[in-house]
Structure 1
Amino acid sequence: MAIAVGEVEECRMITIDRPPVNALDLEAILALEAAFVAAAADRPRGVVLTGAGNAFCAGVDTRAFGSYDRATRHEMVRAITRMVAALLAIPVPVVVAVNGHALGGGFVLMLGGDYRLVADAAGAKLGLTEAKAGVPFPAGPRAMIAAELAPSLLRRLTLTSATLSPAEAVAADIADTLVVPEDLITQACSVAAAMAAQPAFGAVKQQVRGPLAARVAALAASGEEPFLAAFG
């Protein structure tokens, strides 16, 4: 099972659980998409997205991706955009609890959070390493990073595959709060509850993040991937 879903303090807990570093194969991507769709339908008080073990998500499993035939690789690319669209469509607070490495697709998932907590974990790396990994950005993630990152930071992180420490991610305003690892989930649930308690949260989220959600939803619905040929 690549994804675990449970309830903690009235929050929906979605955990990426694919050892050793929670890299995403097609099964995991489809499972995340389904979990996000279910959260949007169920409307729990809040959603906490995290990873099992010592990693949040190391992005696309390049070995699995390379083992797929062409049709399956293209299916996976489109599924990634649908997954991102489903994440952005969740109307309740989404708090991302980054417990370790967040690379490539894992970094994109972090950007999908309405609030981003990162554990002060030794050696943890956060970055957009698609160029180094040999896997370009699907349309959904490309829209996400363009909307969520300052142009100069977007250029540097994507074209150099540079990585940041958790503290550097907070300093760069990519993540919101640096926490000690043992407090990560408790604090994430607390933040989600505090955000949900705001009477106009849903309306304001739609105002602020709705345009991006609509763009990615349209991309997912169309199935159009301008760089699909680059995925082999």
Structure 2
Amino acid sequence: MAFDFNIENDIAVITFDDGKVNAVGFDLIEKFNTALDEAEKSANAVVFHGGEGKFCGGFDLSVMKGDDKAEQLRLVQAGADLIVRLYGFPLPVIVAAEGHSIALGAIMLMAADLRIGKDGGTKYGLNETAIGMVLPAFGMELAKARLALTSQTEALLFSRIFEGKDAVKAGFLDAAVPQDQVLRTALGYAEKLKMLPRAAFAESKIQLRKDTIANMKG
């Protein structure tokens, strides 16, 4: 997993790329949290970028399809803790998702404040029902808060996967642009959002989201 963390002009850019689908395991979660610790101290906005042509395909299947149930539960809990942290993070969080964002990848989109994705040929959505799973409570509560009411049945019960403008309409993205503009657009928004008064932003975010966060924690 190639992982890069850089702060420039008060914007923390977190880039992660395993050359495949950017599966999330214990090591990546630890790196995310370490980067967020530093961003909280030294930046005014955060951009997550999954590398060229990708974002995140979900949890590490080597763990999730293994025989160690305790390890699976531990990974899901670590993922849940990360998502709760992102949703309540005191700085603006922007995602640049050039590629597929499925399952936990889609949950990461919903946890961010602003999501820039690709305008076509890229899948965004929650496939849990289709593969015989129930979305964990932290994901379900987040989806109820972030997805459009008119899209929740399709997204959560029918496992519809969205692309481009349909992903924007459903609430997985805020904007869909050509792939070569995804990161640039995300950074442009970060330049604007970093100017918001930090304390006011953080308190307003918690006031807006505290009930959902409480439900996500179960």
Question: Residues 186 and 150 from structure 1, CA distance in 2 versus in 1: closer, same or farther, beyond 3 angstroms?
Answer: closer
The residue number in structure 1 matching 2:71 is 72
CA distance in 2, matches of 1:16, 1:74: 24
Question: Residues 37 and 48 from structure 1, CA distance in 2 versus in 1: closer, same or farther, beyond 3 angstroms?
Answer: same
Q: Which amino acid aligns with 1:158?
A: L
Q: CA deviation at 1:34?
A: 3.6
List alignment gaps of at least 5 residues for structure 1: 225-232
Q: Which amino acid aligns with 2:90?
A: P
The residue number in structure 1 matching 2:6 is 6
- Local SS of the residue matching 1:6: strand
Alignment size in residue pairs: 216
RMSD, aligned CA: 2.3
Question: Residues 132 and 24 from structure 1, CA distance in 2 versus in 1: closer, same or farther, beyond 3 angstroms?
Answer: farther
List alignment gaps of at least 5 residues for structure 2: none
- Local SS of the residue matching 1:5: strand
CA distance in 1, matches of 2:75, 2:149: 27
Structure 1 length as normaliser, TM-score? 0.82
The residue number in structure 2 matching 1:62 is 61
**Which segments of structure 1 move beyond 4 Å, counting only runs of 4 or more?**
none
Question: Residues 198 and 10 from structure 1, CA distance in 2 versus in 1: closer, same or farther, beyond 3 angstroms?
Answer: closer
Q: Identity over the aligned pairs, expressed in percent?
A: 28
The residue number in structure 1 matching 2:81 is 82
Q: What is the CA deviation profile of residues 145-174 of structure 1, one whole-angstrom value per residue up to 9, with x for unaligned ones?
A: 121123442221122221111221123343
Q: What is the CA deviation profile of residues 9-61 of structure 1, one whole-angstrom value per residue up to 9, with x for unaligned ones?
A: 43111123223111223332333344334433x15110001202311111123
Q: Which amino acid aligns with 2:13?
A: M
The residue number in structure 2 matching 1:160 is 158
The residue number in structure 2 matching 1:106 is 105
Contact persistence 2:13–2:47 (CA under 8 A): yes
Contact persistence 1:6–1:12 (CA under 8 A): yes
CA distance in 2, matches of 1:51, 1:34: 17
Contact persistence 1:104–1:127 (CA under 8 A): yes
Contact persistence 1:125–1:165 (CA under 8 A): yes
CA distance in 2, matches of 1:38, 1:150: 33
CA distance in 2, matches of 1:212, 1:2: 33
Q: CA deviation at 1:194?
A: 0.9
CA distance in 2, matches of 1:66, 1:215: 27
Contact persistence 2:94–2:114 (CA under 8 A): yes
- Local SS of the residue matching 1:211: helix
The residue number in structure 2 matching 1:31 is 31
Structure 2 length as normaliser, TM-score? 0.86
Contact persistence 1:37–1:90 (CA under 8 A): no
Contact persistence 1:16–1:50 (CA under 8 A): yes
Q: CA deviation at 1:183?
A: 2.2
Question: Residues 78 and 173 from structure 1, CA distance in 2 versus in 1: closer, same or farther, beyond 3 angstroms?
Answer: closer
Q: CA deviation at 1:105?
A: 0.6
The residue number in structure 2 matching 1:18 is 18
CA distance in 2, matches of 1:19, 1:138: 27
CA distance in 2, matches of 1:136, 1:26: 22
